[in-house]
Amino acid sequence: MPVKKRAMTIQDVAKAAGVSVSTVSRVLNGKVDVARDTQERILEVIAKLGYTSNLAARSMRSHRKNLIGLVVPDIMPYSIEILKGVNRAIAESKFDLLVYTTGDAQKNGAVLHEQHYVSLLSNSVTDGVIIVASATAEFIADAPIVAIDPHVINPNYPSVQGMNYHGALEVMEYLFGLGHRRIGFVKGREGNVSAQRRFQGYKDALEKAGIALDETIIIHGDFTQKTTYKNAHSLLASDNRPTAIFAANDQSAIGVYQAAEELGINVPNDLSVVGFDNISEAKYLGLTTVDQFLSEMGYIAVQMLIKFINDEPLDLEIHKMQTKLVVRTSCQRLLQPA
Amino acid sequence: MPVKKRAMTIQDVAKAAGVSVSTVSRVLNGKVDVARDTQERILEVIAKLGYTSNLAARSMRSHRKNLIGLVVPDIMPYSIEILKGVNRAIAESKFDLLVYTTGDAQKNGAVLHEQHYVSLLSNSVTDGVIIVASATAEFIADAPIVAIDPHVINPNYPSVQGMNYHGALEVMEYLFGLGHRRIGFVKGREGNVSAQRRFQGYKDALEKAGIALDETIIIHGDFTQKTTYKNAHSLLASDNRPTAIFAANDQSAIGVYQAAEELGINVPNDLSVVGFDNISEAKYLGLTTVDQFLSEMGYIAVQMLIKFINDEPLDLEIHKMQTKLVVRTSCQRLLQPA
DNA sequence: TTGAAAGCGCTAACAG
DNA sequence: CTGTTAGCGCTTTCAA
């Protein structure tokens, strides 16, 4: 059976210490204008009673809570990667972290509720909130907001974004450098900004290299392994097969890998496969992945948010991180076309 | 620049809709006794204004918050594994999740503060809390508590525990079945209950098999790769080398693996290595791991907690999961002694 | 240096 | 059906 004692209030402490609630409150908040012995007595009582102040009540009256909120759609590989970076920054700061999730983006009729969760935290309990992969454009909030990898970009609040476009250019250049000319692409989820950026990078790289876009070597996908696996078969089985395939994310890359394997096509000997993102087992399959440093994004977002909370200007270092660290390509595993 | 509009209150809504705050509150809480058109008007205003109720204020008055708290020391592989299971259960429930962490177990002078965080959530904002890998024995809390894998077991509140002892027995039996007789052990962190249980399982299994405990093939460790790597060298290099090594966790197993590799000892051909836990890259190194199903523990803990919150009895199914699912050994990779 | 008292935004009786 | 009112536990003036 769970413990269900009634929680103590500041009143209980006051009574036990024989003082008024306001005096206890002063001690609690480290105010200096309390007599030494009163202070000690109160602290003793607090310790003995195991009293902890009520977050809700406290948040309601005072402004600074030393708490940062993070709203994520779920705890899946993508969010987890970001969480790791956020955690690191939190550990280094004097803020604690409150992660809010419904466990499933779809649970309560989706996107509509993002605003809800943000205000839930920001208006009450936290000093600021970070929101991951949001599709909402505008937020009403008491406290500062930083968005990570938002699906739609709004100039009204700051965000940390993956370098999708430039990452894609880099990958293509690397493939060109290896001698590939016929490079297929697996598209990401329809309407997703990151996916669009990656595709744009692919197309622009082709154009710059003077290679015509060949629609027949473009595979439709939705960031899932399964869809790509299904959609990749016919292209891989045909004579039309490209020498390399660039997938919009690592899951898609795995899908290609599985389809290839089933058809007896060896990766990477017969076919080079690169995938964006680096959060799945793709790397263990010998696939090349483009690391977007999701966790860096989380780390940076916290730093930015803390600056905002403290009303400090964003310094150069953070800007640099923002633009430099977020993408790094690691293509060691790719081979030249057969 | 972050958005910093003043947050709306229920008063603003009431004013805008031309009703009293209590009427708005009723609509907000889905009470039935509100006229159709009043209701609609209020909902419209709420939507237009983008109003969201203040968590802190709401929590203070009403008892049911539909929110479950989870207190974790940090967001590291161990906690993440549990988080995944918690997330799954949350997604299936009508509760949302609030994860609280300081980012680093050591940040504020450690263990002392667990009680603090628990009451922080449980006394105010959540309907119940799950606490991971706690070292605290007693909790004072308003709401129900469930502990996951506590370092010290207290009969006063329920906990979900990994089957450390039985898992260890299973591993040993499997190794015996393969013909191993000289089986080394890498100990876990000193004073950790799980580590002790695993070691006890090792010892008891030996005894049951009529094999004397050989202290010389026991390696000291602390659950880290590095320590084990350092400590394993001399044993692996000696003639005394066992045919199999059972490590208290996966990190330790990796440490053994690295040391072995460096000495030109092939795993698993020359030496079988099994590790408890299954959250690191151990599996990709071809090491055998004992899956404790950390994520299952998280899943179960949420289910238990929800039962407590709803004052429902724990049903058989949960009990079964509690005792049956938590450990599964998967030893396919182990070979017979050379 | 301390206490009394006024709310923070909200919900829940209690009247009407 | 709706408004008035009394707090929830806390911080923060304002007085003493």
Q: A119 vs B7: CB contact, 8 Å cut-off? A: yes
CB atoms inside a 10 Å sphere around CB A217: 17
Q: What pLDDT, on the 0 to 100 scale, is given for residue B337?
A: 60
Query: Is residue A154's pLDDT more than 70?
Result: no
Check CB contact of A80 with chain B, cutoff 8 Å.
Answer: yes
Question: Mind listing the pLDDT tens digit for each residue in A215-235?
Answer: 999 999 999 999 999 999 999
* C-alpha count within 13 angstroms, C-beta hemisphere, residue A104: 14
Determine the Cα angle at A188 with ends A186 and A190, to 5°.
Answer: 125
Closest CA to B224 of B173, B181, B262, B258: B258
Q: What pLDDT, on the 0 to 100 scale, is given for residue A328?
A: 43
Chain B partners of A143 at a C-beta cutoff of 8 Å?
2, 4
Nucleotides of D under 7 A from a protein CB: 1-5, 7-13
Q: Provide the shortest C-alpha distance from residue B176 to chain A (in Å).
A: 31
Q: What pLDDT, on the 0 to 100 scale, is given for residue A221?
A: 96
Rounded-to-integer distance, Cα B133 and Cα A304, Å: 31
CB atoms inside a 10 Å sphere around CB B35: 9
For residues A135 and A74, the model is more confident at: A74
Query: Is residue B188's pLDDT more than 90?
Result: yes
Query: Is residue B269's pLDDT more than 80?
Result: yes
Rounded-to-integer distance, Cα B215 and Cα B206, Å: 12
The answer to whether A316 and A105 are in contact (CB under 8 A) is no
> Residue B1 — pLDDT band, cuts 50, 70, 90?
very low
- Which H helix or E strand runs over B141? none
Interface test with B, best of A28, A96, A145, A295 (most B CBs within 10 A): A96
Question: Mind listing the pLDDT tens digit for each residue in B75-123?
Answer: 998 899 999 999 999 999 989 899 999 888 777 655 556 777 777 777 6
Query: Is residue B271's pLDDT more than 80?
Result: yes
Rounded-to-integer distance, Cα B268 and Cα B261, Å: 10
> Residue A312 — pLDDT band, cuts 50, 70, 90?
confident
Query: Is residue A23's pLDDT more than 80?
Result: yes
Determine the Cα angle at B110 with ends B106 and B112, to 5°.
Answer: 165
Contacts of A328 (CB under 8 A, 6+ apart): A290, A291, A293
Rounded-to-integer distance, Cα B75 and Cα B22, Å: 41
Q: What pLDDT, on the 0 to 100 scale, is given for residue A223?
A: 94
Burial zone of A109 (CB within 10 Å; 0-12 exposed, 13-18 middle, 19+ buried): exposed
Q: Is the CB of A60 under 7 A from strand D?
A: yes
Residue in B6, B103, B120 closest to A52 by CB: B120
* Domains contained in chain B, CATH given: 1-45 (1.10.260.40), 164-292 (3.40.50.2300)
> Residue B233 — pLDDT band, cuts 50, 70, 90?
very high
- CA B293, chain centre distance (Å): 9
Nucleotides of C under 7 A from a protein CB: 1-5, 7-13
Q: Is the CB of B327 under 7 A from strand D?
A: no
Burial zone of A335 (CB within 10 Å; 0-12 exposed, 13-18 middle, 19+ buried): middle
Query: Is residue A101's pLDDT more than 80?
Result: yes
Rounded-to-integer distance, Cα A45 and Cα A288, Å: 60
Q: What pLDDT, on the 0 to 100 scale, is given for residue B166?
A: 83
For residues A65 and A21, the model is more confident at: A21
Radius of gyration from C-alpha coordinates of chain A: 26
Residue in A4, A52, A115 closest to B50 by CB: A115
Rounded-to-integer distance, Cα B84 and Cα A287, Å: 25
Rounded-to-integer distance, Cα B261 and Cα B229, Å: 11
Chain B neighbours among A 107-136 (CB < 8 Å)? 107, 115-116, 119-125, 128
Burial zone of A37 (CB within 10 Å; 0-12 exposed, 13-18 middle, 19+ buried): exposed
> Within 61-100 of chain A, which residues have Cβ less than 7 Å from strand D?
61-63
Check CB contact of B97 with chain A, cutoff 8 Å.
Answer: yes
The token pair at B293 is 């199903």
Q: Provide the shortest C-alpha distance from residue A288 to chain B (in Å).
A: 16
Question: Mind listing the pLDDT tens digit for each residue in B25-73?
Answer: 998 888 777 888 888 888 888 888 878 888 888 888 877 788 899 999 8
The token pair at B135 is 């070292």
A121: closest chain B residue by CA: B55
Q: What mean pLDDT do residues B252-273 have?
A: 91
Check CB contact of B154 with chain A, cutoff 8 Å.
Answer: no
For residues B299 and A152, the model is more confident at: B299
Beta bridge partners of A245: A184, A273
For residues B16 and A162, the model is more confident at: B16
Question: Mind listing the pLDDT tens digit for each residue in A161-184?
Answer: 877 888 888 889 888 988 999 999
Q: What pLDDT, on the 0 to 100 scale, is given for residue B230?
A: 96
Query: Is residue B199's pLDDT more than 80?
Result: yes
The token pair at A145 is 């907001």
Q: Provide the shortest C-alpha distance from residue A310 to chain B (in Å).
A: 12
Separation of B57 CA and C7 C1' (Å): 13
Query: Is residue B149's pLDDT more than 70?
Result: yes
Closest CA to B295 of B253, B328, B248: B328
Q: What pLDDT, on the 0 to 100 scale, is given for residue B208?
A: 96
Q: Is the CB of B119 under 7 A from strand D?
A: no
**Mean pLDDT score of chain A:** 83
Long-range contacts of B107-110 (CB under 8 A, 24+ apart): B107/A91
Separation of A22 CA and C4 C1' (Å): 9
> Residue A330 — pLDDT band, cuts 50, 70, 90?
very low
Least reliable range by pLDDT among A111-120, A250-259, B168-177: A111-120
Q: What mean pLDDT do residues B192-200 have?
A: 91
Query: Is residue B213's pLDDT more than 60?
Result: yes
Helix (H, G, I), strand (E, B) or coil at A67: strand
Rounded-to-integer distance, Cα B73 and Cα B70, Å: 10
Closest CA to A100 of B69, B131, B143, B120: B69
Interface test with B, best of A99, A154, A284, A309 (most B CBs within 10 A): A99
Q: What mean pLDDT do residues B248-253 have?
A: 93
Largest CA distance in chain B: 88
Q: What mean pLDDT do residues A9-18 have?
A: 90
Closest CA to B79 of A80, A232, A218, A141: A80
For residue B122, the 8-state DSSP code is: I
> Residue B322 — pLDDT band, cuts 50, 70, 90?
very low
Q: What pLDDT, on the 0 to 100 scale, is given for residue A31?
A: 80
The torsion defined by the Cα of A198, A200, A205 and A210, in degrees rounded to 10, comes to 150
Q: What pLDDT, on the 0 to 100 scale, is given for residue A338?
A: 58
Q: What pLDDT, on the 0 to 100 scale, is given for residue A325?
A: 36
Check CB contact of B89 with chain A, cutoff 8 Å.
Answer: yes
Percentage of chain B modeled with pLDDT above 90: 34
What number of residues does chain A have?
338
Q: What pLDDT, on the 0 to 100 scale, is given for residue A220?
A: 97
Check CB contact of A315 with chain B, cutoff 8 Å.
Answer: no
Query: Is residue B286's pLDDT more than 80?
Result: no
Question: Mind listing the pLDDT tens digit for each residue in A34-72?
Answer: 888 888 899 888 888 878 888 888 888 877 788 899 999
Q: What pLDDT, on the 0 to 100 scale, is given for residue A318?
A: 52
